[in-house]
Amino acid sequence: MSAQRAAARPGRLSNAAWSLGVLCLVLAIADAIAGLFAGIGYRLDLWDYRDGIGALIYVFWLAAGTSVAAALAVLLGTFGAWRGAIVTGLIALLIAATTAWVPWSLRQAARRVPPIHDISTDTVDPPQFVVVAGLRRRSDHPVTYDGPEAAAQQRKGYPDIVPIVLDAPPGKVFDAAKSVLAGMDLRLLDADPGHGRLEATDTSLLFGFEDDVVVRITARPDGSTRVDVRSKSRVGRNDLGINAGRIRTFAATLRKKISSG
């Protein structure tokens, strides 16, 4: 009798591993879909962006718990010597861990940067939005600059965001800046060479958040050209450093484009 029980244990263990792995896989897929729909629902105007972001908290905890359970399924499958249970558990673990990593990484990014969303190379006289002003909804942030408090936080968090000075005429810089914006996959809204102004919009992948960019190009007395860039989110308090990163990318690409010809 004891020998029969001993022989039966691996089968029960394998069945438990298989059942747990399948359950974890179902939960992992459902949670991943819920995470995606948190952003898609905002895009479809089904709920406010705050509700979508708030849902990611629950998505994270469910994914984290599913990851632990999936790891247990893999462990049980290993002891039960059932390859199917191991594979199912590993797939569930991969999906759940990836789903948990997305909101976790966003949270970590928010903690590393100042809670601002209006970044400018000139915080004293920031470039002004013109065309964008007619595109923002009442629920969006106004196009006016966020003021001294945001400027102080920017100087502390992003001391490298400064005006771009180039040894090239304004016309050449304007054309190069327009090309750079297009290369960054931004949607060009306005290009006014007479006033040296470019306006464009960037849209995020999941939630469809829109950030507006304005570029101001002015000639300097010494023959060089000064470029100021401002990037501002339409919604949200903390931009996760995306606006500053966008300005850095623009500045580096523009300098390279001008220097190469």
**DSSP letters of 25-50?**
HHHHHHHHHHHHHHHHHHHTTSS-HH
Rounded to the nearest integer, the mean pLDDT of the chain is: 92
Residue scoring higher pLDDT (14 or 181): 181
Under the banding of pLDDT at 50, 70 and 90, the label for residue 6 is: very low
Is residue 10's pLDDT more than 90? no
Q: pLDDT exceeding 90 applies to what percent of the chain?
A: 81
> With 50 as the cut, is the pLDDT of residue 12 above it?
yes
Buried/exposed 147-183: b ≥16 CB within 10 Å, e otherwise: eeebbebbeebbeebeebebebebeebbebbbebbee
Tell me the pLDDT band of 4, cut-offs 50, 70 and 90. very low
For the chain, give the DSSP string. Answer: -HHHHHHHHHHHHHHHHHHHHHHHHHHHHHHHHHHHHHHHHHHTTSS-HHHHHHHHHHHHHHHHHHHHHHHHHHHHHHHHT-HHHHHHHHHHHHHHHHHHHHHHHHHHHHHHS-S--EEES-SSSPPPPSSGGGT--TTSPPSS---HHHHHHHHHH-TT---EEESS-HHHHHHHHHHHHHHTT-EEEEEETTTTEEEEEEE-SSS--EEEEEEEEEE-TTS-EEEEEEEEESS-S--TTHHHHHHHHHHHHHHHHHHT-
- Window from 20-34, 36-50, 244-258 with minimum mean pLDDT: 36-50
- Mean pLDDT of the 209-234 span: 97
CA 67/CA 25 separation, integer angstroms: 10
Q: Are 24 and 73 in contact (CB under 8 A)?
A: yes
Residues paired with 183 in a beta bridge:
none
**Cβ–Cβ under 8 Å, residues 176 and 250:** no
Q: Report pLDDT digits (tens) over 209-219.
A: 999 999 999 99
Task: Please report where in the chains the tokens 């919009």 appear, as a residue.
Answer: 201
Q: What is the mean pLDDT of residues 211-235?
A: 97
Q: Which residues contact residue 63 at a Cβ distance below 8 angstroms, ignoring those fewer than 6 apart?
A: 28, 31, 32, 35, 96, 97, 99, 100
pLDDT the model gives residue 92? 97
Q: What is the pLDDT of residue 9?
A: 45
State the pLDDT at residue 49.
87
C-alpha–C-alpha distance, residues 75 and 93, integer Å? 12
Q: What is the 3-state secondary structure (H, E, C) of 107-118?
A: HHHHHHCCCCCE
Residue 251 reports pLDDT greater than 60: yes
Q: Check pLDDT > 70 for residue 84.
A: yes
Q: Write down the pLDDT at residue 105.
A: 94
User: In this model, does residue 203 exceed pLDDT 80?
Assistant: yes
Identify which of 198, 200, 196 has the alpha carbon closest to the alpha carbon of residue 218. 196
Residue 172 has pLDDT above 50, yes or no: yes
Length of the chain, in residues: 261
pLDDT at residue 101 is higher than 60: yes
In the chain, what percentage of residues exceed pLDDT 70? 96
Could you read off the pLDDT of 105-156 as tens digits, one per residue? 999 999 999 999 999 999 999 999 999 999 998 889 999 999 999 999 999 9
Distance CA 111, CA 103 (A): 13
The confidence score (pLDDT) of residue 1 equals 39
Q: Looking only at Cα atoms, what is the longest distance across the chain?
A: 99
